[in-house]
Amino acid sequence: MHMILASASPRRKELLLKYNIKPIIVKANINEKAFSNEEPVQVAMSLAFQKAYEVASRFSNGEIVLGADTIVACEGKILGKPKDQYDGIRMIEFLNNKEHEVITGICLMKAGSNLKIIDYEKTIVKFRNLSHEKIKKYIETGEYMDKAGAYGIQGFGSLLIEYIHGCYFNVVGLPVSKLDFLLENYFDISLL
């Protein structure tokens, strides 16, 4: 099955391929800063909708478009992708020894129709109590780049984590169980 993925995320592409969906990657042209004053769940859903809407407007033959956006929120602050290694260190130090939320907004649209579904998944992640040296070593791996909250749970970032409550794949960037539920209930498509 083909699906248009309104994202350049290699992790989302990899997850979709794992479930036999061949994503056609079409990067959305949106201003991600425009929603930064909203609540974290609203930000994630708004960005997912904007991505899907912008990409779906380029198609008209019933293509299914998936927009997703993952954010990290802690103590009311939204952490995006770090600008550089110093920003990455600052983010990891802020999350150090704390629980935070990883929220992925999902929007599915059928191009050329009014069918659109918007939802989200939230996972609680708790970081270990990390030394400054450990944080620096993690940043030196380069894995922090292009990741909300400056870490990737699927790699060395797993060593920073004490526990998670909720969907692991949500922290990776795409809650596949929620995606399966939405596809099955609104598009009559199953990932199984």
DSSP 127-186: E----HHHHHHHHHTTTTTTSGGG--TTTGGGGGEEEEES-HHHHHT--HHHHHHHHHHH
* Mean pLDDT score, 147-160: 95
pLDDT for 36: 64
- pLDDT band of residue 31 (cuts 50, 70, 90) is confident
- Spatial distance between the Cα atoms of 96 and 130, rounded to a whole number of angstroms: 6
Other C-beta atoms within 10 Å of 154: how many? 17
Helix (H) / strand (E) element for 26: namely: none
H or E element: which one contains 99? strand 99-110
| pLDDT at 111 (0 to 100) | 93
- The per-residue pLDDT for 38 is 81
Calculate the average pLDDT of the chain.
Answer: 94
Q: What is the mean pLDDT of residues 125-134?
A: 98
Mean pLDDT of 9-36: 87
Cα 78 to Cα 36: distance, rounded to the nearest angstrom: 8
Q: Which of 69, 87, 119, 146 is catalytic?
A: 69
Q: What is the pLDDT of residues 38-81, one digit of tens each?
A: 899 999 999 999 999 999 999 989 999 999 999 999 998 999 89
Report the share of the chain in percent with pLDDT over 70. Answer: 98
The reported pLDDT for the residue numbered 164 is: 98
For residue 114, give the amino acid letter.
N
Q: What CATH number is given for 2-187 in this structure?
A: 3.90.950.10
**Amino acid 35: pLDDT:** 61
Confidence at residue 59, expressed as pLDDT on a 0 to 100 scale = 92
Can you list the alpha helix ranges (DSSP code H) found in 73-128? 85-95
More confident: 76 or 96: 96
pLDDT above 90: percentage of residues in the chain:
86
What are the φ and ψ backbone dihedral angles of 109, each rounded to 5 degrees? -135, 150
What single-letter amino acid sits at 116?
A: K
69 is catalytic: yes
Which amino acid does the sequence have at 51?
K
pLDDT at residue 8 tops 90: no
Reported confidence tier of residue 34, pLDDT bands at 50, 70, 90: low
Q: Which amino acid is at 107?
A: C
**Mean pLDDT throughout 165-189?**
96
- Rounded (10°) angle between helices 132-140 and 85-95: 140
